[in-house]
């Protein structure tokens, strides 16, 4: 009986820890996108998490675009943004200890890596 109670308590703790990680993802995140031609673009993402759904915006170069198809599953995060007719798919991980997000960004047959830090 004690073993079952301990197991149940541990499982409930894991669920609450996962929910805390998801909740921590909400807010502003900043980074720099390095284009294939070497141009650097400062980016600011504003995320809002509701359950497993991710919404928000990307602000870059004076424009703001909505996040599409956003999903959060544990520490896995995925979404896309459409900037001037080009879709940028983002797939990555949330690292709560370092307070950072790492993404592989795919667009027009190219792939780039993007690291975001929690914004100020």
* CA atoms of 37 and 119, how far apart (whole Å): 26
Using CA atoms, how far residue 95 sits from 23, 84, 87, 102, 103, in Å, is 13, 30, 25, 8, 11
| Residues 34-59, mean pLDDT to the nearest whole number | 90
Report the CATH number that the domain containing residue 10 is assigned in CATH: 2.40.128.20
Binned at pLDDT 50, 70 and 90, residue 80 comes out as very high
Domain that holds residue 23: 2-118
> What is the spatial distance between Cα 103 and Cα 34, in angstroms, rounded to a whole number?
13
Domain count, the chain: 1
pTM of the model: 0.74
Q: What is the mean pLDDT of the chain?
A: 79
Segment 106-112 mean pLDDT: 87
Instruction: List, for residues 26-44, the tens digit of each pLDDT value.
Output: 899 999 988 888 889 899 9
Contact of 45 with 57, CB cutoff 8 Å: yes
Q: Give the Cβ contact number of residue 77 at 10 Å.
A: 22
* pLDDT tens, residue by residue, 60-73: 888 899 999 999 99
């Amino acid at each position: 009986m004690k073993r079952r109670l301990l197991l149940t308590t541990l499982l409930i703790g894991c669920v609450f820890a996962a929910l805390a990680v998801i909740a921590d993802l909400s807010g502003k995140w900043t980074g720099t996108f390095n284009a294939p031609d070497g141009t650097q673009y400062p980016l600011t993402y504003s995320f809002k998490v509701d359950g497993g759904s991710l919404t928000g915006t990307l602000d870059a170069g004076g424009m703001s675009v909505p996040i599409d198809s956003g999903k959060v599953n544990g520490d896995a995060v995925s979404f896309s943004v459409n900037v001037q007719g080009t879709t940028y798919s983002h797939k990555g991980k949330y690292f709560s200890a370092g307070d950072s997000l790492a993404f592989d960004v795919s667009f027009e047959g190219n792939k780039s890596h993007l690291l975001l830090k929690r914004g100020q």
